[in-house]
Amino acid sequence: MDLLAGHPPCLSARTLERYLGEEESRIHVLRGVTLTLDPGSVHAIVGPSGCGKSSLLYILGLLDNPDAGHLEIGGVPVLSIDDNVASAKRNEMIGFVFQFHFLLEDFTAAENVMIPMRRLGKLTEAEMEERAVLLLEEVGLGAKAKRPSRHLSGGEQQRVAIARALANDPLVLLADEPTGNLDSLNSDRVFSLLTRVVHNRNKALLLVTHNPEIAEKCDWVHEMKDGLIVNTTRNERKG
């Protein structure tokens, strides 16, 4: 990692705390989570249902605010900024892959991938289209770019969602059980695609997974319990 000395982490979170719910049902969901994602690293979050995995991802992805703590993306503090700036930052710096893909079903695969680019507003229509097709080729769907997404299989739709997450070349990829509803072939395919992008382009990926085979292939595995990371292990990268 010497080559990257001096680069800020893609993401750095310190002592994040979050309470959710009202009054007597108020829960201390995150109780001081600290986590650093360096460029080129793939991280798994594992832990029982309800331990706070999704709540953590929402905060790291600027979809929710913590009650305390500190968060930097690409070396820049992001918690004190106003909502409009936060949503622009999210669109530019973060790619989010959910368990369910949330594609617009009547839109073609390419049109879905162009949505975040349109919001960013840096490319012309032709450039956006060209980039969308390129990203779809990367996920093995070049030939299906013009198909309405409802005519694609579940695995294909999830790959479109990944191409969409990569649309603006984000620094951080966050994925909440991205392979949860896929068969093992598609699950492997989606995972290798994400890790390839991260390792080749010095991004960082944090994914929640219940699949031990996937966790084993990540560089780091963080175990969560009751709103805390209780254990972190490093896996040697193979190949």
Nearer to Mg ion, 51 or 194 (CB): 51
**CB of 20 or CB of 88, closer to ligand ADP:** 20
Minimum CB separation from ligand ADP for residue 177, in Å? 9
Residue 124 interacts with ligand ADP (CB under 6 A)? Answer: no
Given a contact cutoff of 8 angstroms between Cβ atoms, the answer to whether 97 and 162 are in contact is yes
The answer to whether the beta carbons of residues 151 and 109 sit under 8 Å apart is no
Query: Of 45-53, 78-86, 90-98, 133-141, which segment contacts ligand ADP by CB under 6 A?
Result: 45-53
The answer to whether 54 contacts Mg ion (rule: CB under 5 A) is yes
- State in angstroms the smallest separation of the CB of 54 from ligand ADP: 3
Of 53-61, 94-102, 123-131, 165-173: span binding ligand ADP (CB under 6 A): 53-61
Q: Cα separation of 213 and 215, whole Å?
A: 6
Distance between CA 116 and CA 129 in Å, rounded? 12
**3-state class (DSSP) for residue 116:** helix
- Write the interaction track for ligand ADP spanning residues 179-198; mark x where CB under 6 A is met and - where it is not: --------------------
Residues 6+ apart with CB under 8 A from 130: none
Cβ neighbours of residue 219 closer than 8 Å, sequence gap 6 or more: 41, 42, 43, 234, 235, 237
Site residues (vs ligand ADP, CB under 6 A): 20-21, 27, 29, 47, 49-55
Site residues (vs Mg ion, CB under 5 A): 53-54
